Amino acid sequence: MSETAAEVVICGAGIGGVAAAYHLVKRGITRVVLVDERPALSLTSDKSAESYRNWWPGPGDSMVALMNRSIDLLEELARESDNVFLMNRRGYLFATAQPEQIERYVRAAAEAATLGVGPARIHRTPGGDYQPAPATGYEGQPTGSDVITDRSLIRRHFPYLADDTVALLHARRCGWFSGQQLGMYMLERAREKGVRLIEGRVERVQTAGGRVTGVTLAGGRTIGTARFVNAAGPYVKDVARLLGVELPIFCERHAKVAFHDTLGVVPRHAPMMIWTDPVRLHWTEEERAELAQSDSHRYLLDEMPAGVHGRPEGGGDSPIMLGVWTYDVEPMEPRFPLEFDPAFAEIVLRGLARPIPGLNAYLSRLPKYFVDGGYYTKTRENRLLSGPLPVEGAYILGGLSGYGMMSSNGAADLLADYIADRPLPRYAPAFHLDRYDDPAYRASLEEEADDGQL
């Protein structure tokens, strides 16, 4: 294929752009050029915690429907590739020590069932028929969620959790996989069918008569095309400006820590665990006095937000645990390289030690750890954008936030339906940029709502 003309040019070879190329090829559109100024999958898409879930809040069932479709596609890919990206189905285990949360868990499970997450199973007695998830594989597993409120059942299956844990909600169509392996698998399949990956920076998008006609890269090379997909990750807003389009998108910095659980505190077969209670970190008197003097870290003496979470990472003899805690995010311009608070690893470990007290053993001397991260590129209501832009022939696949690995197949499948002029799924309007033209939708954004971010 000549590089001077293409049916579709995609800017960005992160998981969004790669998935877009893959799903265009699946619809017979193979004259596709992927342009990236960096190596494929290297900016945000290799910083993810690589987890997936169909557990998403409303309003409406669009997020659940899109995510179910995305997970269907991930499962298809896992089947055809002999699970080269090691997809598992261990689930997300939400946990609380607050008795008043018990019935909230029961209600959340019932509400999730109405959104399409799958059935709610409540286990209130020691003999409850709760089935734990297998460590590997994804086939033949239940959907929906299990709520366990019997303390002996909790202890039997999750003895490493704090003794005062009173309820668990185990969401089942959830787990994790290798995002790099997934991305490389899709990229290779797309390239086999003719997709070209070009190194370069998209600097201009030409239009004539209000329609896309070509894309110019740094250095002046131009690719003629009638269709352009903006999948530029944290730079999606800048790239949209090349078309004169202003996107309601912002970035937040997010980090994760990988630490060595050499004492084996968390069993290697454990699911993802999310503590849904706020946490007060444990400090000695001396540490308290020191923190009280610190302008940057005094807040660590206060109650910290709910949501600290973690999971084992890697197979075989891997001792690695991943930990994430979103306690201090704010909108910012994306700048690289990112810098993280040197105390982040310790803060996350201390947070995780609340639900998993065995981790306290590491607090006097931190284990080996590694912190990295990137930007969540988000819309205000944390719903991605997939579909046409207001310039004929221009499209977006962006705003993938903290869920781009799990959603990119669903989002790219939707985008490819637009480009191939196929019938659209019923959830399409929820991810179209023109939703913001609806005053009722804009007004709904003023209401405080759970945006599903963990």
Ligand X SMILES: Cc1cc2nc3c(=O)[nH]c(=O)nc-3n(C[C@H](O)[C@H](O)[C@H](O)COP(=O)(O)OP(=O)(O)OC[C@H]3O[C@@H](n4cnc5c(N)ncnc54)[C@H](O)[C@@H]3O)c2cc1C
202 counts as binding ligand X under rule CB under 6 A:
yes
| Residue located via tokens 């069993």 | 267
In a 3-state reduction of DSSP, which class is residue 156? helix
* Alpha-carbon radius of gyration of the chain: 23
Binding pattern to ligand X, positions 31-60, x when CB under 6 A?
----xxxx----xxx-xxxxxx--------
Which listed residue (13, 112, 212, 416) binds ligand X by CB under 6 A? 13
Residue 217, amino acid: L
**Would you give the DSSP letter of residue 179?**
H
Q: What residues does 170 pair with on adjacent strands? A: 93, 146
Which listed residue (196, 256, 309, 383) binds ligand X by CB under 6 A? 256
Rounded to a whole number of angstroms, the minimum distance from the CB of residue 361 to ligand X is 26
**Would you give the DSSP letter of residue 132?**
P
From the list 8-16, 125-133, 185-193, 258-266, the region that binds ligand X by CB under 6 A is 8-16
156 counts as binding ligand X under rule CB under 6 A:
no
406 counts as binding ligand X under rule CB under 6 A:
yes
- In angstroms, the CA 437 to CA 367 distance is 51
In a 3-state reduction of DSSP, which class is residue 308? coil
Choice between 165 and 401, CB closer to ligand X: 401
Rounded to a whole number of angstroms, the minimum distance from the CB of residue 264 to ligand X is 23
- In angstroms, the CA 154 to CA 399 distance is 37
30 counts as binding ligand X under rule CB under 6 A:
no
413 counts as binding ligand X under rule CB under 6 A:
no
**Would you give the DSSP letter of residue 370?**
E
Choice between 348 and 353, CB closer to ligand X: 348
From the list 58-66, 119-127, 253-261, 431-439, the region that binds ligand X by CB under 6 A is 253-261
Q: Are 324 and 310 in contact (CB under 8 A)?
A: yes
**Would you give the DSSP letter of residue 432?**
S
Residues of this chain, 216-235, that bind ligand X according to CB under 6 A: 231-235
Q: How do strand 394-398 and strand 228-230 relate by DSSP bridges? A: parallel
429 Cα distance to chain centroid: 21
Percent of residues in the chain assigned helix, strand, coil, to nearest 5: 30, 25, 45
In this structure, what are the phi and psi dihedrals at residue 346, rounded to the nearest 5 degrees? -65, -40
The number of residues that bind ligand X (CB under 6 A) is: 42
Q: How many CB atoms lie within 10 A of CB 334?
A: 20
Choice between 62 and 101, CB closer to ligand X: 62
Choice between 149 and 386, CB closer to ligand X: 386
Binding pattern to ligand X, positions 361-400, x when CB under 6 A?
------------xx-x---------------------x-x
Choice between 17 and 355, CB closer to ligand X: 17
Q: Are 54 and 23 in contact (CB under 8 A)?
A: no
Q: Which residues bind ligand X (CB under 6 A)?
A: 11-17, 35-38, 43-45, 47-52, 201-202, 231-235, 239, 254-256, 373-374, 376, 398, 400-406
